[in-house]
């Protein structure tokens, strides 16, 4: 015990794992994590995050499916290979001390919206009461531009683009073309509120477009 320093609090990890398992199960039941896709994390402390191991069925997560990474995305404790996309989580924890949770899902609405708006690079959400669900908004008389990044298997490239955008504007989420949505927040509750608001508003936009009234 004495010569093996604990880089993080195991009780905190257990709490994170338990919260991830129950919340992700609900997202999986909503159909937002098809075919073992998607990944999810919670901040453990200033230097670590708990994140889902790549390739696991998100509807059946167990404690063993949650691993620890440092904020450079390297596995800590267990010799597991973290998902390449881990960097997209840890860059947010590194940059924003107030971010405590990052959720990445693949709903059909998110994937279709990403394909549809990739050519113009973003999707404007405007005139919805639910814009108030995003932390910092107190009125529906506002607009949010959801960025759509090109997909790439090179996470260094993608995270640099995200960083550049975060230098220019506040953001609670973004789309990746043909891929899905990243959303985050202070804690699990706020990150889920943001995620649900994005999903709902993207769904409204697609529906209005199908009805010949969308942007």
Q: Which is nearer to its own copies, 17 or 176 (CB)?
A: 176
Binding site residues, its own copies, CB under 8 A:
34-37, 57, 106, 108, 111-112, 115-116, 127-130, 133, 138-141, 151, 153, 176-180, 189, 193-194, 196-197, 199-200, 203-204, 206-211, 213
Minimum Å gap between C-beta 19 and its own copies is: 13
Minimum Å gap between C-beta 17 and its own copies is: 20
Q: Which is nearer to its own copies, 74 or 140 (CB)?
A: 140
Minimum Å gap between C-beta 27 and its own copies is: 13
Residues 6 or more apart whose CB falls under 8 angstroms from that of 96 comprise none
Q: Using DSSP, how many helices (H) and how many strands (E) does the chain show? A: 5, 9
Minimum Å gap between C-beta 31 and its own copies is: 8
Burial of 165 (0-12, 13-18, 19+ CB in 10 A): middle
Q: Which is nearer to its own copies, 8 or 172 (CB)?
A: 172
Q: Which is nearer to its own copies, 34 or 77 (CB)?
A: 34
Separation of CA 99 from chain center? 11
Looking at the chain, how many residues does it have? 215
Task: Give the span between the Cα atoms of 127 and 75, in whole angstroms.
Answer: 43
Beta strands in 2-157 (DSSP E): 39-45, 48-52, 66-70, 75-76, 101-105, 122-126, 143-149
Minimum Å gap between C-beta 186 and its own copies is: 14
Q: Do 54 and 81 touch, CB atoms closer than 8 A?
A: yes
Q: Which is nearer to its own copies, 143 or 160 (CB)?
A: 143
């Amino acid at each position: 015990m004495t010569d093996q320093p604990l880089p993080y609090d195991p009780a905190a990890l257990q709490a994170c794992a338990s919260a991830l398992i129950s919340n992700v199960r609900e997202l999986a039941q909503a159909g937002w994590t098809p075919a073992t896709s998607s990944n999810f994390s919670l901040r453990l402390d200033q230097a670590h995050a708990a994140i889902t191991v790549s390739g696991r069925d998100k509807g059946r997560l167990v404690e063993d499916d949650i691993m620890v990474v440092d904020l450079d995305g390297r596995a800590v404790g267990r010799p597991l290979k973290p998902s390449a996309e881990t960097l997209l989580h840890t860059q947010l924890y590194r940059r924003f001390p107030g971010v405590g949770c990052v959720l990445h899902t693949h709903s059909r609405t998110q994937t279709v919206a990403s394909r549809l708006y990739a050519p113009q690079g973003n999707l404007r959400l405007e005139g919805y009461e639910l814009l108030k669900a995003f932390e910092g908004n107190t009125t529906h008389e506002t607009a949010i531009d959801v960025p759509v990044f090109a997909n790439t298997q090179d996470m260094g490239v993608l995270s640099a683009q995200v960083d550049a955008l975060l230098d220019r504007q506040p953001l609670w989420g973004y789309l990746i073309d043909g891929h899905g949505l990243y959303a985050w927040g202070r804690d699990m509750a706020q990150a889920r509120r943001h995620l649900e608001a994005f999903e709902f508003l993207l769904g409204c936009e697609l529906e209005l477009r199908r009805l010949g009234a969308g942007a």
